[in-house]
Structure 1
Amino acid sequence: MTALTAAYRVLASIALPFAARRTVAKLRQGGIDVHRTHERLGHATLERGLGDLVWIHAASVGESKSALILIERLLAMAPTAQILVTTGTASSAKVLAPRLPSRAFHQFAPLDGRGPIKRFLRHWRPQIGIFIESEIWPNLINCAHDQGVPLALLNARLSEGSARNWSRAPKTARDIFGLFGIIHTQDTRTARALGALGLTHARIGVNLKSVLLPPRINELARARLEKQFGPRPLWAAVSTHPGEDEIMIKAHQQLRQSHPNAALILVPRHPERARGIRLLCEGHSIAQRSLEEMPDIETSIYLADTLGETDLWFNLAHLVCLCGSFSDVGGHTPFEPAAAGAAILHGPHYSNFEEVYAKFSEAGASLQVHDAETLAESLDLLIRQPDHARALGENARPLAKAGLEELDRLAAQCLTLAGIERN
C-alpha cells in the first residue's frame, strides 16, 4: 500500500458519516424508498440466491445502460448464474431496474468505506467483480481483492486530465489498476496511458456503448405523439446539462424565424432540473411530459423530463442534437441515435468519445456545430435538404451495428477469470 492509498483510506473513514448523510438525502430526493438507501451502507435488501454470482458495478445511467448487452451475453453463456448490478444514483436505478432480464437484479453500491464494503461483500460473496468505465473506488477494489474476488475493468476510459493525474502517482496507479485481472479499454488513449504506467495487460477492445440492445419503444406512444405534433419540422436536443438548455432554446428561436412551425423536444440529462428549464422557455408554447401534457400543433417546446425514453425521442425526431458537447461534460455516445438512423449534430466538446466522433465525421455520419447560431443554421439546412439529413442517418446506421463476436470473447474471459462454467 502506498502512502497515498493509506491517506485515502484514513480520509474515507473520517468522511464516511458525512458522505452517508448526504448520499441518503440525495437518494430520498430522487424518490428512493428509505429502506433501499441503506444499501449504500452495505445493508442488502435482497437475499443472495444459490449458485454463482457475477457482480457488475457501474457509476450512473450511461455506464449501466452500456452494461445491459454484456449482462445478456453473460447470462446466455452461464445459464445458472445470477448477476448483481450496483450503481450509485437514483436515476440509474430507475432506468436500469426495469430493463434487467431474469436472473439479474439491482442494488445500490456501498460507499467507499471499509464497514459498508465488508458488509456488502460478506452478504453477496461474488465470484467476480466487473467494474465499468472509470468507476475507481480504491477501498472497494482493495477489499474485494483481499477477499479473493477476481476483478475486471471493462470499457475503461481515462480523460486527458485523469491520465495526467495518475501519471503523477504511478506506483499508486499500479497498486490499484494492477488488481484487475482483465483491463479492457474503449479507446487507444486509455490503453496507452495505462500501458505507460506499467499496466501492460490493458487492451483496447469493443466499446460496450457501440453494442446495442434492440431499442425499447412504445409504438403506441410514438404513433400518438407523431399525430399530435403533426407534419412539421421536429428536432430533439438530448441529454442537456446546465448551460446547454439556453443554447438549445436560443437555436430554436432562431430556427423558428425561417420555420415558424418547428418544434423542439428538449430532453434534460437530469429530469429534476425541469422546473428551472421550463422557466427558460418563457415565450414559447410548452408541454411537459412528466405532467402528462400532450403536445399539439401549436407546441413549440416539448419538455421530455422523463427517464428511459431516449430511444423514443431518437426515433420520433430524425434530427438529433447530442448535448454534453456544449459544456465541459465531454459529450455523450452517438451510437443510440445512429441505430435509429437519426441525423446527428453535436457541439465541439466531446473528449469522452474523441475516437468515436472522429469515425462518425469521417463516415459523413454527423455534423459538428459550435454554438446556437451554427446549430440553427445546420438545422435549417437539414430541414431544407431532407436528402442530406437522410444521408447522415444512413451513414450512421452501420457504425451502430453490434460487435457481438468480440463482446462474446470478452464475456467468456470474465467467466473464465471467475471460474464459472460456460455452456
Structure 2
Amino acid sequence: PLPADAAALASLRTAIGARPLFLAASTHPGEDAHVVAAHRAVSAAFPALLTVVVPRHPERGPAIAAEAAAAGLTVARRAAGDQPGPGTELYVADTLGELGLFYRLAGAALVGGSLVPHGGQNPLEPARLGCPILFGPHMWNFEEPVARLLAARGAVALDSPAALAPAIGDVLSDPGRARALAEAAAAVADGNAGLPGQAAEALLGLLPPYAPAETPAEGRRAGQGTNEG
C-alpha cells in the first residue's frame, strides 16, 4: 500500500472532519475541468463536499487552483501550506509522495488519466487502501487488473466524463455500496500479493543450478597445489 505519514493523516482527518470527500487522483491536463464541473453538480446534494485534486505533476497546482477559482469555487493549495478549511470546496494537493494520505480519506476516488486519452494510473493503489474506485474509458494500459476489478464489482467504469458526477453521488449516498466496492477491490488486490514471489520462482526455474564462483585467491591456491604435486 502507498505510505502515509501518520501525523499528516491525523491532521487532515481533524481538518476535514465528517465532510464527504471525493478524490481525483493523479489527474492529467484536460481532466480538472471535468472534476470541477462534477464538484459543482454533486455539491447540490452534498453541500459539505470537499473535492481533493492530486495532480500527477505537482507543478500544475497553481493552474488547477486558478481554474477552480475562476469557476467560483473556494480553493486551497497544499504546496502553499494550506489545510482544507471549513469553507474550502476544492483542495489542490500539489505535493509529491502524499497520494496515500488521500486514498485513506476519500469516500470515492477517480483514477486519473482515465477521463482523457492518456491512460489511467494504477487502480490497484486505491484498491489496496479500501477506497471506492471510479475510472473513465481510457484504462487500456491496465487492461488486466481493470477486467478483474470489474468482474468482482470492485470498481465503477464511466463511459464518459459526463458520468462522473452521477457516479460520485451514487457512491457517496450509499455507504453499503461504497463498502461493497472497497471490499471487492481489496480482495482483487490481495490476490496479487503473492505475484512477486511467483515471478521469482518462475525465473529461478529457468536458470542453471547455482555454482559458487572461485575467487582469485582460491584459483591461485588450486594452481599452487597442482604445481607442487
The TM-score with structure 2 as length reference comes to 0.84
The answer as to 2:193 corresponding to 1:406 is no
Q: Determine the C-alpha separation between the residues in 1 that align with 2:25 and 2:90.
A: 13
The amino acid across from 2:54 in the alignment is: V
**Residue of 225, 237, 245 corresponding to 2:32:** 245
**Structure 2 equivalent of residue 224 of structure 1:** 11
Q: Determine the C-alpha separation between the residues in 1 that align with 2:111 and 2:6.
A: 23
**Structure 2 equivalent of residue 276 of structure 1:** 63
| 1:191-235 deviations in Å (ceiling 9; x for gaps) | xxxxxxxxxxxxxxxxxxxxxxx4311111111101101211101
Q: Determine the C-alpha separation between the residues in 2 that align with 1:369 and 1:388.
A: 16
Higher Cα Rg, which structure? 2
Give the Å deviation of 1:257: 1.1
The answer as to 2:39 corresponding to 1:256 is no
**Structure 1 equivalent of residue 95 of structure 2:** 306
**Residue of 273, 289, 293 corresponding to 2:82:** 293
The amino acid across from 1:375 in the alignment is: L
Give the Å deviation of 1:410: 5.2
Partner SS state of residue 341, structure 1: coil
The amino acid across from 2:153 in the alignment is: G
**Structure 2 equivalent of residue 201 of structure 1:** none
Partner SS state of residue 24, structure 2: strand
| 1:343-384 deviations in Å (ceiling 9; x for gaps) | 000001111012221111110000011344321111111111
Q: Determine the C-alpha separation between the residues in 2 that align with 1:271 and 1:361.
A: 30
| 1:224-250 deviations in Å (ceiling 9; x for gaps) | 101101211101000111101111111
The TM-score with structure 1 as length reference comes to 0.46
Q: Determine the C-alpha separation between the residues in 1 that align with 2:132 and 2:106.
A: 9
Give the Å deviation of 1:285: 1.3
Give identity over the alignment, percent: 36
Q: In 1, are the aligned partners of 2:136 and 2:159 still within 8 Å (CA)?
A: yes
**Structure 2 equivalent of residue 320 of structure 1:** 109
Q: Which structure has the higher relative contact order (CA within 8 Å, separation 6+)? A: 2
The answer as to 2:170 corresponding to 1:365 is no
**Structure 1 equivalent of residue 226 of structure 2:** none
**Structure 2 equivalent of residue 346 of structure 1:** 135
The amino acid across from 2:129 in the alignment is: A
Partner SS state of residue 258, structure 1: coil
Q: In 2, are the aligned partners of 1:230 and 1:297 still within 8 Å (CA)?
A: no
Partner SS state of residue 353, structure 1: helix
From the superposition, tell whether residues 372 and 256 of structure 1 become closer, same or farther in structure 2 (CA, over 3 Å). farther
From the superposition, tell whether residues 408 and 226 of structure 1 become closer, same or farther in structure 2 (CA, over 3 Å). same
Give the Å deviation of 1:255: 0.6
Contiguous gaps of at least 5 residues in structure 1: 1-213
From the superposition, tell whether residues 275 and 215 of structure 1 become closer, same or farther in structure 2 (CA, over 3 Å). closer
Mapping 1:166-181, distance limit 5 Å? none
Partner SS state of residue 117, structure 2: coil
Give the Å deviation of 1:389: 0.5
The amino acid across from 1:237 in the alignment is: A
Q: Determine the C-alpha separation between the residues in 1 that align with 2:102 and 2:60.
A: 18
Q: Determine the C-alpha separation between the residues in 2 that align with 1:313 and 1:374.
A: 22
Contiguous gaps of at least 5 residues in structure 2: 213-229
Q: In 2, are the aligned partners of 1:228 and 1:295 still within 8 Å (CA)?
A: yes
